[in-house]
Amino acid sequence: MSSILEVKGLSFKYDRQRVLEDISFEVTEGDYVGIIGSNGSGKTTLIKILLGLIPSYEGQIKYGKDILKDNSIGYVPQHGAAIDKLFPATAGEIVATGLLSKKGRLKFYSKEDYKKVDTVLKRLKIENLKNKRIGNLSGGQRQRVLLARAMIADPKVLILDEPTSALDPEIREEFYKLLKELNDEGVTIILVSHDIVSIEKYINKILYLDKRLVFYGGYDEFRHSKEMARYFGLLT
């Protein structure tokens, strides 16, 4: 399996506060990585750096060649974060904006673009939402629209930040299942979550962060580790 992302000796501080300390890990094609850690442990900062939103870090971040060439990273923000409820757009229109980053200066949609919207809505089983106003959708529906918006550009890697924090458990479970389907189709997934119990069925690797890297490796190995005990506050 080829390497999708290699991080070496990554450190970062906001002003004087050190937030990430010497983080190294590698993600390979097809991985489904869960990032866990308590509030303030640096998860969001790490994701922002991986997305290129914070340039001033120390260390190295290397994406696989195809990933950078095709601008092939999809991002799903925290629940609802990107959408103003009063924004007068339909779900279909929001999904189409996911194509804009791949266009040049002329930002017009083509017939093929509209076809892509239909295809991705179908793939995520939300064709029925296409003409609905985004503000009228439930939390779970809105989250799927944001996922469709990320998927329409056909990314090889999908990065998600606490995508289900405001959803009720059944809807959350469905969302995680959907992510697993995408992963089975070959999309590499990096998912920040508060809720290790609901993602453990799906992930193959875990990255446990507490400013430094407490654990990185296979989930099965994690289950039997002292770090797992620490995570659940069961230190013996």
Q: Which spans of this chain sit near ligand ADP (rule: CB under 6 A)?
A: 14, 19, 37, 39-45
**How distant is the alpha carbon of residue 126 from its chain centre?**
20
Q: In angstroms, give the least distance from the CB of 213 to ligand ADP.
A: 13
Q: Which residues contact 19 (CB under 8 A, 6 or more apart)?
A: 12, 13, 42, 45, 211
- Transcribe 14-62 into DSSP letters: ETTEEEEEEEEEEEETT-EEEEE--TTSSHHHHHHHHTTS----EEEEE
Residue with smaller CB distance to ligand ADP, 17 or 131: 17
Give the whole-angstrom CA distance, residue 57 versus residue 41: 16
Give the whole-angstrom CA distance, residue 207 versus residue 224: 15
User: Which of 1, 34, 41, 51 lies closest to 20, judged by CA?
Assistant: 41
Residue with smaller CB distance to ligand ADP, 45 or 188: 45
Q: In angstroms, give the least distance from the CB of 43 to ligand ADP.
A: 3
Residue with smaller CB distance to ligand ADP, 14 or 114: 14
Give the whole-angstrom CA distance, residue 97 versus residue 101: 8
Q: In angstroms, give the least distance from the CB of 14 to ligand ADP.
A: 3
Residue with smaller CB distance to ligand ADP, 18 or 85: 18
Q: In angstroms, give the least distance from the CB of 19 to ligand ADP.
A: 4
Residue with smaller CB distance to ligand ADP, 56 or 131: 56
Structure tokens at 110: 């083509």
Q: In angstroms, give the least distance from the CB of 44 to ligand ADP.
A: 3
